[in-house]
Amino acid sequence: MNRRRIVLLLTLTLLLALVLSACAAPAAESPEQEAPKEEATTAPAAPAQEEKPAEPEAKEGPVTITFWHAMSGSRGEVVQDLVDTFNEKFPQYKVEAEYTGSYAETLTKALAAYKAGEAPIIVQVYEVGTQTMLDSDAIIPVYTMNQGEVDWAEVVEPIRKYYSIDGNLYCMPFNSSTAMLYYNKDMFEKAGLDPDKPPTTWAEVEEYSKKIMEAGAAEGGFSMGWPAWILEQMFAWHNQLYANNDNGRSGLATEIYVNSDFGKMVLGEWQRMAEEGVLVYGGRKYKANDPFLGQQFPFLFQSTSSLGGILKKAEFKVGTTFLPRFEGDYEKGNSVVGGGCLWVMDTATPEQQEAAWEFLKYTFSPERAVLWHKGTGYFPTSNTAYEMLKEEGWFEKEPNFATAFNQILSGNDTPASQGVLLGPFVRIRDVMGTAIEEAVVNGADVAKTLDNAANEANQLLAEYKQLYGD
């Protein structure tokens, strides 16, 4: 293991946690738990003066492993149920789950703990931290742990390919998602639109938004959660590379293409629609969800992971549909994977590795994948789980849960659509979030804004390449 590399990665990621703290996800419904101290596993020896046979050592307790995650609220409850049922089913092991803050905070804490020799055994890392984990020298690739018990072909293909390098899977897919378009069916009806015929293009999103606004049913047209991620989705959806070296998959990326003609077109359209009151900027991450639920606008671009919460809270009929396309001669790509993956840290003892692998297999089992999907809205990462859901009629009963899954399975597998790997991706996404805000909120010149963002991002990539390049 390379401690110097961890120090450098920690330096690069520490700033992001501070920068993103202002826009972090809401605090967990339950407080963070402290990691319990290990208990003694053997009984004390009998006193030497007693002429009795030495007492046998006490039977060892379960092998304990820590699991750090970023799932708060209702998602955290589903995680805890997963852990509790595993511990009950496999009493020889004990998984201790700890909520460790936002995605960025969890990644930063895990690297800091590794440096201090106090790393968790399993850590959940969101997709933009993938390259950081690959370069950390701190992980055990899950494909090396598999002795044939898991058929990797069982992993839903777009998800498997996102987390694979040279065909090898490095972490266990866990909470996978993508972006889709939510809409308010009641507003469609008020504006004389067919609620079963959602828009398929950005031109239609704008057209329908204006009709709904003119009917007095809404104040604006649409908003976005994770705007920088939605921009990444547009690149992949229209088969446009976001970065060089095949989006960082054939070598470390050294340049991003956000200031390409395509990037300028997308942000230019968003800026124009913001000026016309159609695009309502709702902030980053999940902040746009509440005004959508408050019926301020009919459309919301958001992760499928929000589906369960939106359906529970909405006081209107919710519809979902595929991401819209821009007009033009653009080939079809695919939406890209979001969410997170489970990584095993290389500080695990052989016994802890065994426990970790059993837990990973359990999370991936079709039965648990079905429960995870129903409880959170995240994809079932197992093909068998998907078939089980179809056979029971789940998607017929709850068609909104099928939308994002059908979307990602219907796209084309291209270098542009497999997902981007960038070393300082977390910071680059923050740079892009700021650029989008400058354009759609403050009316900044789109070309200059994207050029400046690209320059800043490329400098971060150059610094990363200097540290970790060949």
Q: What is the pLDDT of residues 315-339, one digit of tens each?
A: 999 999 999 999 999 999 999 999 9
User: HEC states along 37-101?
Assistant: CCCCCCCCCCCCCCCCCCCCCCCCCCEEEEEEECCCHHHHHHHHHHHHHHHHHCCCEEEEEEECC
Give pLDDT, residue 60. 72
3-state DSSP assignment of residue 173: strand
pLDDT tens for 49-65 read 334 444 444 447 899 99
Nearest to 379 by CA among 307, 302, 285: 307
Distance of alpha carbon 416 from alpha carbon 235, whole angstroms: 8
Residue 26 has pLDDT above 70, yes or no: no
User: 227-237 and 261-275 helices cross at what angle (nearest 10)?
Assistant: 130
Residue 3 has pLDDT above 50, yes or no: no
Nearest to 380 by CA among 393, 391, 369: 369
Who contacts 208 (Cβ-Cβ below 8 Å, separation ≥6)? Answer: 188, 191, 193, 199, 221, 298, 299
Give pLDDT, residue 468. 83
What single-letter amino acid sits at 341?
C
Residues paired with residue 82 on neighbouring β-strands, in sequence order? none
pLDDT tens for 241-275 read 999 999 999 999 999 999 999 999 999 999 999 99
DSSP at 306: G
pLDDT tens for 125-178 read 999 999 999 999 999 999 999 999 999 999 999 999 999 999 999 999 999 999
Q: Are residues 16 and 430 in contact, defined by beta-carbon separation less than 8 angstroms?
A: yes
> pLDDT class for 460, splitting at 50, 70, 90?
very high
Give pLDDT, residue 377. 86
Residue 280 has pLDDT above 50, yes or no: yes
Who contacts 271 (Cβ-Cβ below 8 Å, separation ≥6)? Answer: 439, 440, 443, 446
Domains of the chain: residue spans and CATH: 3-20+59-176+337-392 (3.40.190.10), 179-335+416-468 (3.40.190.10)
Q: Are residues 129 and 163 in contact, defined by beta-carbon separation less than 8 angstroms?
A: no
Residue 465 has pLDDT above 90, yes or no: yes
pTM reported for the whole predicted model:
0.86
Share of the chain above pLDDT 70, in %: 87
Residues paired with residue 111 on neighbouring β-strands, in sequence order? none
CA 340 to chain centre: 4
DSSP at 215: T
What phi and psi values does residue 87 have, to the nearest 5 degrees? -60, -35
Residue 10 has pLDDT above 70, yes or no: no
Task: Look at 433 and 21; give whichever has higher pLDDT.
Answer: 433
3-state DSSP assignment of residue 161: helix
Residue with structure tokens 């009795």?
52
> pLDDT class for 444, splitting at 50, 70, 90?
very high
> pLDDT class for 9, splitting at 50, 70, 90?
low
Torsion of CA 260, 265, 271, 274, to 10 degrees: -140
Residue 14 has pLDDT above 60, yes or no: no
What phi and psi values does residue 90 have, to the nearest 5 degrees? -125, 80
Residues paired with residue 165 on neighbouring β-strands, in sequence order? 168
pLDDT tens for 373-392 read 998 889 889 999 999 999 99
> pLDDT class for 239, splitting at 50, 70, 90?
very high
Nearest to 179 by CA among 235, 125, 233: 233
pLDDT tens for 160-172 read 999 999 999 999 9
Q: Are residues 253 and 247 in contact, defined by beta-carbon separation less than 8 angstroms?
A: yes
